[in-house]
Chain A
Amino acid sequence: MHKLEDNRAWLLVVPVFALVAFNAVIPLMTVVNYSLQDIFGPGQRVFIGVEWFREVLRDLTIQASFLRQVAFSALVLAIQIPLGIAIALLLPRVGWKSSLAIILIAIPLLVPFNVVGTIWQVYARPDIGFLGRGVNAIGIDYNYTASAVSAWITLLLMDTWHWTPLVILLAFAGLCSIPEPYYQAARIDGASRWAVFRHIELPKLRGVLTIAILLRFMDSFMIYTEPFVVTGGGPGSSTTFLSVRLVNMAVGQFDLGPAAAFSLIYFLVILLFSYVFYTILKMNEGEP
């Protein structure tokens, strides 16, 4: 009976449950309903079973978008996590220089997504953009509207500029929490800089790095606004990521049934990855 009394605290989260039901569960239920029907208009719909799921799962352009998305997220993680740690290691840990560095580094995080896209769209233009003109001036052929490689490099640079600060801040917070005696012990043992990083800093950063990897993976896997603004999914379909493809399907072509099936599969994939990361995070908690 003791447990029953404790459970009354759950009443405090009822408003949150109600809100989530309203803005997440009910729309999700509607999407499930849509995914099994052919919708012609309000009140005009036909139940067709899992036909849309079959169509989406076998659609080669969606499979290509999925692979593109996985490649993009993998590249984002491979670049931003090491870079974020490296910059965090170089930052001063105390004093006004530390505060100033943190403020400067955090600025890109404050810029709205579509503004980031617009900034980079102009910045990277080969005719008027500082980056685009500069790169072409040194003899490298760079045009993100014509070349898939240029488009990918632009998006990766933009995402790195926008989101590496988050990794830096998390890694910096992790580094600041390492007690000084660890470093003193390492100095007494004559440990090299690499050994200190490998055996003290990196294990102590594991918790924050798991969060950083989780956040960066989720964000990059769901990226929409920036590629939509900068490349619009092109050239060709070289930067048509899953969400760009989904929006084209749902809003461009107004194919509500297939778009609903697509959304559910997308949601399940993200749910799976989130669960895997969450489990890793939880398993790491108990270890030093």
Chain B
Amino acid sequence: MIDLEWMAWTTPTAIFFAVIAAMLAVMTALQIFWPTVERKGLLPMPTTRGDRLFLSLLLAAFLHLGFVWATDIEAFWQPLALSVAFGVLILRFG
């Protein structure tokens, strides 16, 4: 067994990266069986499915950072809910 102690893994970060890896796996499978077509929606530039996912994740990161900066609340349900809502909006209509 490889010793991964030096990477200082924790359960929350493991879940976080597992979700990211799952997203990449789903996107790869979708690309193979249902290739994306670049299109122009609500966003100012034409985007592919991957572009929209990247944008959603970037927006989610900054929403969380803004939340951490502005409040002392430990739980993340509010920015997470907002990120998911924006993510769905961007993925579907972006």
Contacts and interface: CB of A to CB of B under 8 A. Distances in A.
A32 B13 contact: yes
Contact of B54 (A4, A57, A275): A275
Interface residues of A, number: 30
A178 interface: no
Interface string A251-288: 00000000000000100100110010001001100000
A52 to B, nearest CB: 10
A214 interface: no
Interface in B64-78: 65, 68-69, 72, 74
Nearest to B14: A33
Category for how many chain B residues contact A: 20 to 34
A33 B69 contact: no
Given A57-B68, A275-B58, A37 B10 contact: yes
Q: Which applies to chain A's interface (DSSP): helix, strand, loop or mixed?
A: helix
27 contacts: A3-B32, A7-B32, A30-B6, A30-B7, A30-B8, A32-B16, A32-B17, A33-B9, A33-B10, A36-B10, A36-B13, A37-B10, A39-B8, A42-B5, A45-B8, A47-B10, A47-B12, A50-B68, A57-B65, A57-B68, A58-B69, A268-B58, A268-B65, A272-B58, A279-B45, A282-B45, A283-B45
Interface of A: 3-4, 7, 26, 29-30, 32-34, 36-37, 39, 42-43, 45, 47, 49-50, 53-54, 57-58, 265, 268, 271-272, 275, 279, 282-283
